[in-house]
Amino acid sequence: MTSLSYTKALDRLLQPLGFAREAKKKDWIRTRGDFWDCVDLQKSWVDGSVTANLYAKDLETEKILKSIECDIPLGLILLGERIGSLIDGRDRWWKSDQNGPAELADAVRVYGIPWFDRIRSIEDQAELWYYRSATADPWRKRNLTALAVTLFRLGALDEALALFEAPVPKTAIPNLVAKGRCVQRWLEGQRRSG
């Protein structure tokens, strides 16, 4: 079987569920309200085997981030899971065999599609996508800016601004700090105008 067989198997599963495959790519995208869902068919450059990755984002949070003035473009870091981690916590790759396309499509149906519905509320996003209650240094959170905007959307402006009050560690990624400062200034502006 070729990767085209995997593509056809995923087409048959995903298109009736509202996903559309991007031209010349192995990504299936759907938008439901403010949510963007993606199934990505990844092919190994080592042995030609394939797996599926799932990604999701909140389009309103991304829209707000992209509207904030900053010298560095702001946006979301895609949140995702590999299908194997949803099945049993292991990385799984399907090789070219007769049953591979059907097995992968079935795994996406059973484990992947429900994953898209697990987090829908803004509260869930803050907690489960952006680790709102994690005690780790906020400057080490990959999606610090998205967490701050999500907290703003929840009406927790003081909590969002408090993220940026923590001392910046010497090992912090400069790009993340610069983006964080842009969002901090924007939030301060929202406080003044609110």
| Averaged pLDDT of the chain | 92
pLDDT tens-digit map of 81-135: 999 999 999 999 998 778 999 999 999 999 999 999 988 799 999 998 888 888 6
- Is a pLDDT exceeding 70 seen at residue 1? no
Q: The sheet that has 27-32: what strands, in order across it?
A: 20-21, 27-32, 35-43, 50-58, 79-82
Same domain, 53 and 103: yes
With respect to residue 49, please indicate whether it lies within any of the assigned structural domains.
yes
- Quote the number of domains for the chain: 2
Residues 91, 8 share a domain? yes
Establish if 59 belongs to a structural domain.
Answer: yes
Q: Judge if 100 and 166 occupy the same domain.
A: no
The per-residue pLDDT for range 161-178, each reduced to its tens digit, is 999 998 999 998 899 999
Residues 92 and 10 in one domain: yes
Q: Say which amino acid occupies 55.
A: Y
Clarify whether residues 8 and 101 are in a common domain. Answer: yes
- The residue whose two tokens read 């199934």 is 39
Whether 68 maps to a domain, the answer reads no
Do 132 and 112 lie in one domain? The reply is no
Instruction: Summarize pLDDT for 144-160 with one digit per residue, the tens.
Output: 999 999 999 999 999 99
Q: Is residue 158 part of a domain?
A: yes
Beta bridge partners of 165: none
Assigned domain for 21 exists: yes
> What are the φ/ψ torsions at residue 105 (nearest 5 degrees)?
-60, -40
Query: What range defines the domain where residue 153 resides?
Result: 122-193
DSSP 124-135: HIIIIIT-TT--
CB 151 within 8 A of CB 164: no
28 assigned to some structural domain: yes
Residue among 32, 18, 15 nearest 120 (CA): 32
Q: If you search the block for the tokens 């309200």, which residue do you land on?
A: 33
Q: Count CB atoms within 10 A of the CB of residue 44.
A: 12
Gap between the Cα atoms of 148 and 48, Å rounded:
40
User: Do 86 and 128 fall into the same domain?
Assistant: no
Output the pTM of the full model. Answer: 0.87
C-alpha to C-alpha distance for 68 and 72, rounded to whole angstroms: 10
Give residue 141's pLDDT.
Answer: 81
| Residue 139 clears pLDDT 90, i.e. is over it | no
In a domain, 26, yes or no: yes
Is residue 90 located within the same domain as residue 36? yes
Q: Is 109 helix (H, G, I), strand (E, B) or coil?
A: helix
